[in-house]
Every structure is written in structure tokens, then in C-alpha cells.
Amino acid sequence: MKKENRNKILLCYSIIILLMMIPVCGIIYHLVDNTVISADKWNEKANKELSEMVVINPERGDILACDGAVLATNLRYYTLHIDYLAEGFRDDTLKKYIDPLCDSLAKYFPRRDAKEWRTHILKPLDYKKRPRYYTMIANISYADMQRIKTFPYFYKRRPGKSGLTVETKLRRVTPYGDMARRSIGSVGQHETCSEIHGISGLEKALDTLLYGVPGVAKKIPLTKGIVNWTDKPAVNGFNLLTTIDIKIQDILENELNNVLTYCDAEWGVAVLMDVKTGDIKAISNLQKDEKRNRYIEGMNRAVRRFEPGSVVKTLSMMIALEDGIVSNLDEVITTGSSYAYAGGRAISDSHGVASMKVREVIERSSNIGMTKIITKKYGEDPSKFYERIKQTGFLDTLRTGIAGEVPPSFAKLKNDRGGRISLSRQCFGYNSEIPPLYTLALYNAIANDGKFVKPRLVSGLISEEVDSTLPVEYVRQQVCSPANAAKLREMLTAVVWGNHGTARSLQDKKVRIAGKTGTCYMVSDHGGYDSRKRLAFCGFFPAENPVYSCIVLTCNPRQNAFGAASTSGQVVKNIALKLYSRGMLNNSSDYHADAADQADKDREPVFYAALNRDDVASLGRAVTGNDRTRFLPSPAVHEKGVPDVVGLGLREAVSTMEKAGYNVSFTGLGHVAAQSVAPGSPLAAGTRIMLTLKE
């Protein structure tokens, strides 16, 4: 019996051993095959795998304002998903905490109320096939993501039990919204690869500096497997220090927007430069959004060509002074009401006089006067006028870093009757196309004693190893002599302050402005000029010691104001006064010149209040011993109800709401995507309105 059992046991063991030997033999066979028989094939495959190089994308550099404020940067955004099939996920646990969870979400993320959040989170429980990657909330900041992890249900609960997963994505953001957006530019994915490159503005023009240099990683075998090993580290892009001044940019954009709204223009562009350095301190391009009846950042027309109108007369007068065509500014020119040069159609002045002095040609903006001056030398050989303009450097490409920049275009004139007639028009603004930025650069040179400094948007490069300041560059060291520059400044000052100036409405004793108006009829779609106008004002301030130069171009105003001075010139004046009031023109910040002469009682404290007059009056008596208390009225109900601010940047939205009498809270980043109260609702003033921002 024992022997029989022993035989059975041995048989069983033999069978088990035989069965075990089958996979062992297989393993031995594959081992021999891989290491001996097919070694070459596997070595080739391994070498191919290890030879693959992985590109390490560099971190894109930031674009900074002149004071270091961030205009464009990379930020990580987070999207939270819930895995309803996670191993430790329990329906009853989620339902237990759903009410306090939704209350917390509604408080910090009011894009949904508590009821809507409850529906949103519990909805996947009713699906036949529950999702593993259900989006709970998208595009939130790191701080918001960390806050959500402290909410009921998610707090101290492992991802395997809560189902919470986090997806991160790097995005390019502009913290100041639309401020100088066209000049800063934007980025996007390259057509042929997954790399992110600039597609407009500075982002595109200086992409090679901002993008950096990609690194390379190779694969190496370690004990735990094949890993990426950095062979050549990526070099991050430079941070670009721009010349944009946030405070001046804010002033310029608001003043341009206000005047465009007042005159209902199609679009407008404004650029402000530092006279000595050529630093572009502010630049704005606004165009009318007819659907929403507001102005938005449009195409960068500062570097696009337009017929300049009378602002080009300053260039012609500069050439006349430099060439000695005129030397005595008091020389009298016979003008009259019309002048037919070379048998062409008669040239006229809007306010023609029998005669005027040379110094008055710019002041009166005389087409006839400028024609007689320029044709005096160049009438016999019009082609030389183009060559003379080219000598000034005015036709050179400035290379400011603004994408889409093109140089001025002047027609090359023939030495015949047609060329002479064209010359008579070209010298006062026709037969040529000039970008506003180039016109500004010329006026800036006149303000800068003839030093033709090159406009620029970038003043420095910053990285871990480099902190460089780019030098000021010149188109020409002297485009005209300091003496002639002084004469031109005198003429441009007379445009505003002279008895016959075309911009006398811009006079203000606090800031003396000098400049030139320009009006140009626009070409219709069917050819020829129509009734629409482009209105320009280019100048500098203060006139006696220029700090800034500025150009504004307004297209087709349709109400209230229709002249170059009352539209574009008014923008320049408003900007100058705002800078003066803030002490940004090398002056005291006290707006009132006679502040030192005010009586002592006028310098005593003033208290402001909106509601309880008795309490504030008591406070005033307690502190000052008198009843000198001034009250701000309580906000009135907005006549048209709550304003519509969807689509605006935060700065514009808050300003609009507060002007209407409402308080504002907000959440998120970017533009206004939603407001808690519908536009036009008859809501009482002082009510708080929640704005939801989204990139």
C-alpha cells in the first residue's frame, strides 16, 4: 500500500516537473535566440531605440514694460477631472458631501450657482458608461486648484478615492489685457511642428530671442528601464524689456477711446515717444466694433501706409531751410486764393489770403505757399525732390520690432509737365504714403534739435547670464541743423499759439503744445476721393522744452467733431494735460500753478462722504474745529440699467461699472466672460456685481 502511494506521488511530481520544464525550455530557447541566434536583430533594435533623441522645448521669455511689469508671460493653468470609475470611488460618499462641496464651489467660482454645480457633478452618475475623465472645472490658477483640494469631499482624500485628477497646460497670457496688445502680439502653434512661436507683434518680430534654443535628451538604459538623459540642456528665451510705460499707455488708450467715442470715428491710432531716446512709451490701435458699439484693439495701423495730408509740409519746409530755398522767414510770398502750377488743376487754400510770410506757411497750412517754395528749386527737375527726401533717411526702414512695418512710399517723379504737377501736390501731402510712426519720428527729430533718433520698442535683453541695455540708435545724427530745427519748432508752435494757427483750440497755459494738423480725403472703393477724411495731428510738448512727441490719426468721424484739431489734436492735448497733472513732464505734480498763493483756509483738510452727513460733519469739527466738509453725492440709479461689459478687459469693465454707480467683484483672469446681472437690468446703484473673467 505504501509502495503504491509512493509511486503515485513520484508520478505526480514527474508530471509537474515535466510541465515546469516546458516554459523553462521556452525561456532557455528565447534566451539563446535573443543573445546568440538573433542577437544582431535585437542589438540593432536596441541601438535604434537608444539613438532616438528627444527635443527639450525651452521656456519662452517674458515681455516686460519699462519698469519691469509683465506684459506677456507663460502661466500654468489647471483643469480638474473626476474619474467616476476610480478604484476607491463611492457614490454614497460623494452624495454625502455634495451640498457643502457645491456651496464652496459657488462661492469661489460663481460661473455656476450651488444648484448648477450639484447637477454638473452628479450628472455622470446617471450615465450607462461612467466617464473616467469628466471635466469638473477648466483653466484655473494654481492657487484656485489648491483651494479646491481643501473643499469638502476632496480634503485629505486620496485621488484614488475622490477620483480627482489634474491636467496642467502652459499658456501665454497678457496680464494687462488689451493694453498695447497689437504691438505685443500673440503666439500660436507652428504649422509644421508642435512648437509655439510668435505670430504677430513683438512676439513674431523677435521670436528667435523669445523662443530660446531647444535642448536635446537621449535615452539610456538604467536598472529600472530606459530613461531620458539630458545631453544638451535647453536655453530659455530672453526676457525683453520694452519701452512701454504702463501709466502712459493707460492714459493714451483712455484718451484715444474717449475722443473716438465722442466723434464716432471708424478707427484711430496713437503713438507717444520719448524725444531724447526714441522710446515708444505708448501705442494704441482702436477700431469700432459696430456689433457691440464699442472700440476694441484693432490692426496695427501705426506702421501701415496712408496718404499723410498736411503733416508732410513740415518735411518740405525742413528741406527748404536746409537747401537754402528760404532763409528769411519774414519774406513775403504772394499766394491768393488759387494757383495753377504748370497748367495743372488749380491748387487752393481753405483760408486763402493775398500774401503771407514764409514763417506763416506752416501756421496757416498753405498749400499754395508750400508749392511755391518747393517748385522754386525742384520745379525744373522734380526727380531730385525724391532723392533729397531719401538723403534725409526718411525712407529708411526703422526696424522698430513692430511686425508689419513698411517704409514710406514717395512717387518717383519724371522731369516733364506731369512730374511738375505731381511735385506741386507731393510737397503738401499727396502722391505719397507714410506710416504714422515715420511721421512721428521726423517730428521727434525736430523736437530733438535735428537728431533723427530711431523709434524703438525694445530697450534691453535679460536672461540668467545677460542683462544688457540696447543703445539709442540714429537714422541720421543730424537730419537738419539745430538752428533750422529751432525755426521749425517756432513754426509748429505758431500752429497752436499763432493768430492764424489751424489748431488754436489746443491752447492751454499749463502745457504748451506744438504740432501740425493734417487732413486727407480717403480713396473710395470705386476709385477717386470721397467725403470721408483721415485727420492727423503730430507734435510735441512742452513746446519750449520737448519731453514727448505724439501722433494721432482719426478716421472718418461721424458726429460732434470733424476737424483734425478737435479730434486727433484733442487726444494729444488731453494726454499732455494728464501727464502734467501727474508730474510726468519734469514738473511738480500740483496741477494748479497758483497753488502756493491760495489762502490758508483753502489748504485746510476736506472730508468726503457719500451717506451719513451728520457723522462726517461731526468728524470734521472734531479734527479741524470747523464745519468745512464736502460731500460726494450717493450714486444714482443708472438710467439705462446695468452696462454690458462682456468682452472688455477688467480695467475697462470696472471703470464702466463704477461710472454707472455699481460696485464690482471679479474672479479669474483675462476678459469678462460673464456678469452676474444681465445688461440693462434696473438694478439699484451701489449693488455689487460679480464679473467672471476668462482667457
Rounded Cα gap, residues 244 and 455, in angstroms: 12
Query: Does the pLDDT at position 310 exceed 60?
Result: yes
Tens of pLDDT, residues 663-677: 888 887 777 888 888
455, three cell numbers: 523709434
Backbone φ and ψ of 198, nearest 5°: -70, 140
Question: What's the mean pLDDT in 269-297?
Answer: 92
Q: pLDDT tens across 193-207, in order?
A: 678 888 887 888 888
Mean per-residue pLDDT, 562-578:
95
What pLDDT does residue 668 have? Answer: 77
Confidence class for position 607, pLDDT limits 50, 70, 90: very low
Q: Tell me: pLDDT of 274 over 90.
A: yes
273 in Cβ contact with 246 (< 8 Å): no
pLDDT given for residue 175 in this prediction: 84
> What is the pLDDT, as a whole number, of residue 588?
66
| 694, 139 contact by CB (below 8 A) | yes
Confidence band (pLDDT; 50, 70, 90) for 296? Answer: confident
- Look at residues 333, 345, 348, 419 and name the one whose alpha carbon lies nearest to residue 379: 419
With a cut of 60, say whether residue 592 has pLDDT above it.
no
| pLDDT tens digits along 649-665 | 777 788 888 888 888 88
pLDDT over 70, % of the chain: 89
Query: What distance in Å separates the CA atoms of residue 373 and residue 376, rounded to the nearest whole number?
Result: 5
In the three-class reduction of DSSP (H, G, I as helix; E, B as strand; rest coil), residue 254 is classed as: helix
Q: How far apart are CA 360 and CA 328, in angstroms?
A: 12
Q: Which helix (H) or strand (E) holds 509?
A: none
Residue 493 clears pLDDT 80, i.e. is over it: yes
- Buried-state track 126-159, b at ≥16 Cβ within 10 A, e below 16: eeeebeeebebbeebeeebbeebbebebbeebeb
Out of 218-227, 481-490, 528-537, 557-566, least confident range? 218-227
- Whole-number Cα distances in Å, 67 to 241, 537, 550, 584, 587: 8, 29, 21, 15, 20
Higher pLDDT, 39 or 172: 172
How high is the pLDDT of residue 633? 38
Tell whether the model's pLDDT for residue 612 goes beyond 50: no
Structure confidence by residue, pLDDT tens digits, 77-88: 999 999 999 888
Looking at every residue in the chain, the average pLDDT score rounds to 85
Q: What does the pLDDT look like over 392-415, one tens digit per residue?
A: 999 999 988 787 889 999 999 999
Q: CA–CA separation, 231 vs 222, rounded Å?
A: 16
- Condensed to tens digits (0 to 9), the pLDDT of residues 444-477 reads 999 999 999 999 999 999 988 888 888 999 999 9
CB 623 within 8 A of CB 615: no
Instruction: Please check the confidence at residue 609 and state whether its pLDDT lies above 70.
Output: no
Query: Which has the closest alpha carbon to 284: 271, 274, 295, 275?
Result: 271
Least confident of 38-42, 128-132, 630-634, 667-671: 630-634
User: Residue 277's pLDDT is what?
Assistant: 95
pLDDT at 580 > cutoff 60: yes
Instruction: Tell me which residue has cell 502680439.
Output: 185
Average pLDDT over residues 536-542: 97
Name the DSSP class of 342.
G
